[in-house]
Each structure stands twice: as C-alpha cells, then as structure tokens.
Amino acid sequence: MKIATIIVRILLGLMFLFASVTYFFHLMPPPPPPQGNTKVFMDGLNASGYIMDFAKAIELLCGLAFLSGRFVALANVVLFPITINILLINIMHMPEGAPIAVALFVAQLFLFYVYRQKYAPLFESK
C-alpha cells in the first residue's frame, strides 16, 4: 500500500504541476475554442480575470506538496473542489476529457482513504 500511495501521490503531483506550469508559461498551444454552453462557461471564468490564475496557482502549490510528500493531506483537501469541477466540466461539457478527469478523481479519493486518520478530527463533534 505504501508503494501505491507514493506512486499515486507522485503522479498526481506531476499532473497538477504540469497543468499549472504549462498554463503560466504558455508552453502548449491553447485548445480549440469551445462551442455552445462550454464557450459561455469558459468565457465567464476568463471574464472574472482571476479565477483561472488562482486555480492554477493552487494546483502548482499542491502539486509541489504532493511531489515533496509534505502537507499531502492538506493539499488533497484544498485541491478537491478543483478536482470536482474538473470532473463535472469534463463530464457535462467536454466528454472527451472525462477519462482523465475520472482517473484524477479516483486517485484523489485513494489518497483520502490512505490519509483518513488525518481527517478524523474534522468529523468530531465537540
């Protein structure tokens, strides 16, 4: 289980690090512009002026946390809303990216399971 945890943690870290670095340094050509409701949704995100930059900065920091093995439980909690949005956007608007989004979601759920003892205090009522 320990080796599987390290592999999943490193792969997640590399995925989030790659996604954020390519976004900030424009290392890949942008995907073709979306159509229909997806275009409206993406235009709304871009119109805010900060949402995508903020999400990618969070992905960068949490990707580094996954790669270093420090603050993994915290990084997992912080990234979970972003991962849920990635999953839902891909399922609803861009189904061609759904397999990667599902793999990302399952990998995070696996890390939640592995680090479940660290989350136990969050669910205690005092």
Instruction: Tell me the pLDDT band of 45, cut-offs 50, 70 and 90.
Output: confident
- pLDDT, residue 34, reads 79
Number of folded domains in the chain? 1
- The boundaries of the domain holding residue 71 are 2-123
Helix axis angle for 72-92 and 51-68, nearest 10°, is: 130
Q: What is the mean pLDDT of residues 22-47?
A: 86
Task: Give the list of residues 6+ apart from residue 73 with CB closer than 8 angstroms, or none.
Answer: 115, 118, 119
- pLDDT, residue 87, reads 96
- pLDDT, residue 123, reads 86
Q: What percent of the chain has pLDDT over 90?
A: 71
Q: What is the mean pLDDT of residues 38-44?
A: 87
- pLDDT, residue 107, reads 97
